[in-house]
Amino acid sequence: MRPKLILASASPRRFALLQQIGLEPDALLPADLDETPEKGELPRKLASRLANEKATAAAAIVTARPEFAGAYLIAADTVVSVGRRILPKCEVAEEAEQCLELLSGRAHRVHTGVTLVTPKGALRHRLVESRLRFKRLSHRDIKAYLESGEWRGKAGGYAVQGLAGSFVLTLSGSYSAVVGLPLYETTVLLAGEGFPVHAGWKNGNV
């Protein structure tokens, strides 16, 4: 029996990414945090801070529940930026339209922080930075994407694993980190703390 694995997120994308590498979370414990950047906070710092705060908040719940004794906990946060400007997680079409117009024909960065809480309560953290360039988006591109609704709740107003994948000219860095969880860094953190990351690979159980 492997130790339990907790994902401090309700994101179906992060859940699916863990499943992709044979890691099935035993529970989802999303943290309800204020994700507003602090005054003058840089994108890298924001991604790291929110990943750590999500991990700490979820760990407090895990500690209070005996059924999660000995569990490993993973939290992550993704921030999209153009220069020092942090783009929102869009909830209304006007926000998404502004983001898409800003990203059109130019490069931007995606910063993803991932934090592991070990069974002993220690925090281990990694930050991954990826660089993308979008094609020049036509009015038709933007209108069609807004009508899809795929942008809703997404940092920067797009989901690279969906329809917006057709906008990407280049991607340098970690594709999985842009989706929401850097798989290489996640497995390195888990394996480094003794979690059997390959346990689900046997006999085609992935």
**Distance separating alpha carbons of residues 42 and 167, to the nearest angstrom:** 26
Q: Which of these is catalytic: 32, 34, 77, 141? A: 77
**Distance separating alpha carbons of residues 86 and 80, to the nearest angstrom:** 6
Tally of CB atoms within 10 A around 21: 17
Amino acid letter, 177: A
Residue 82 and residue 102 in contact, taking contact as beta carbons nearer than 8 Å: yes
Distance of CA 185 to the CA centre of its chain: 12
E strands, the chain, are 5-7, 27-28, 72-82, 85-86, 107-117, 123-134, 168-172
CA nearest neighbour of 175 among 131, 115, 127: 131
Tokens representing 119 are: 């069974």
Residue 32 falls in the annotated catalytic set: no
**Could you tell me how many residues make up the chain?**
206
Which residues form the catalytic set?
77
